[in-house]
């Protein structure tokens, strides 16, 4: 039987399968369906300093091969996450988790990362830099090397746990942004976040989503994600969590050969809530079929 364990820095995971932030909540809904402890880890719902109701509805639009969402980081805020959600999650999930942190200013990122860094059971802090910088005209932090590096330095100055920067694909050169994050002290990179997409209701002649545009995710974006993980692997010397359209064990192998040490599965959790346990079950069989003895042996194999 193939060894499907993997590592993110010093952290060993039983397998590389991690539900992505925003698609798994804080685990409670899925814990009713299966034992979520079979997962490698999980990335909980994106958390900001203050509670957020999110964007106006409708927030979801279906697409061929995926979906567009404009949920708007709806969450109870960092203090409620720490006081209510984390204790509840620890009661269901016995492994360390990934804390996904979002912010609209450097100070907000620092505050939230410093608060979550003190909590037990947090293995990695995943910093979403696809948020608009409210002090810089609304441009997302992750769309420039300078802004991405600034956030990285800021959160590293107040944390002790590994920090992985979650990158936006809506850029010209994602490798340069990854390199800027590494130079600023990032312990790892997570990519890709959603692409920017839009649907129009041709009967109403109006955008389907109230916010007009939103994040495009699902199997249709998988080739883009593989390409960007491949490019970033060649640019940095820190671990990568790959995500974007993963829908099968074959996709996991492909993403790891591109350079990912672990993967996150997002949109497919919403269409098939058993997608993660299904892939975990299938991985050893696929590894045996492909002659893979240890999953870690194939990380970056497509570059050799």
Residue 207: helix, strand or coil by DSSP?
Answer: strand
Encode 189-218: b = buried (16+ Cβ within 10 Å), e = exposed: bbbbbbbebbbeeeeeeebbbebeebbbbb
- Residue 195: closest CA among 169, 177, 175: 169
Active site residues: 131
Number of helices (H), then strands (E), in the chain: 10, 15
CA–chain centroid gap for 12, Å, is 18
C-alpha closest to that of 111 among 54, 155, 163, 61? 155
Q: What CA–CA distance (Å, rounded) separates 17 from 20? A: 9
């Amino acid at each position: 039987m193939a060894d499907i364990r993997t590592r993110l820095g010093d952290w060993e995971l039983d397998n590389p399968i991690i539900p992505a932030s925003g698609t798994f909540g804080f685990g409670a809904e899925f814990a009713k369906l299966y034992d979520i402890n079979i997962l490698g880890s999980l990335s909980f719902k994106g958390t900001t300093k203050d509670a957020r109701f999110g964007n106006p509805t409708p927030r979801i639009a279906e697409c061929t091969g995926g979906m567009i969402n404009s949920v708007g980081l709806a969450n109870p805020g960092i203090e409620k996450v720490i006081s209510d959600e984390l204790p509840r999650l620890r009661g269901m999930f016995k492994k360390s988790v990934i804390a996904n942190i979002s912010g609209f200013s450097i100070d907000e990122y620092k505050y939230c990362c410093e608060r979550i860094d003190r909590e037990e059971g947090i293995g990695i802090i995943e910093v979403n830099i696809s948020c608009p910088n409210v002090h810089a005209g609304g441009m997302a932090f992750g769309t420039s090397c300078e802004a991405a590096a600034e956030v990285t330095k800021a959160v590293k100055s107040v944390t002790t746990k590994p920090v992985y920067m979650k990158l936006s694909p809506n850029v010209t050169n994602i490798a340069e942004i990854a390199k800027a994050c590494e130079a600023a002290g990032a312990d790892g990179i997570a990519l890709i976040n959603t692409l920017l997409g839009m649907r129009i209701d041709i009967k109403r002649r109006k955008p389907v989503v109230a916010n007009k545009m939103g994040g495009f995710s699902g199997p249709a974006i998988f080739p883009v994600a593989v390409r960007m993980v491949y490019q970033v692997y060649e640019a940095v010397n820190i671990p990568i969590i790959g995500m974007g359209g993963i829908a099968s064990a074959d996709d996991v192998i492909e993403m790891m050969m591109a350079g990912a040490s672990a993967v996150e599965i997002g949109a497919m959790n919403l269409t098939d809530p058993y997608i993660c346990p299904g892939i975990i079950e299938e991985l050893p069989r696929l590894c045996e079929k492909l002659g893979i003895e240890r999953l870690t042996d194939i990380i970056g194999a497509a570059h050799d």
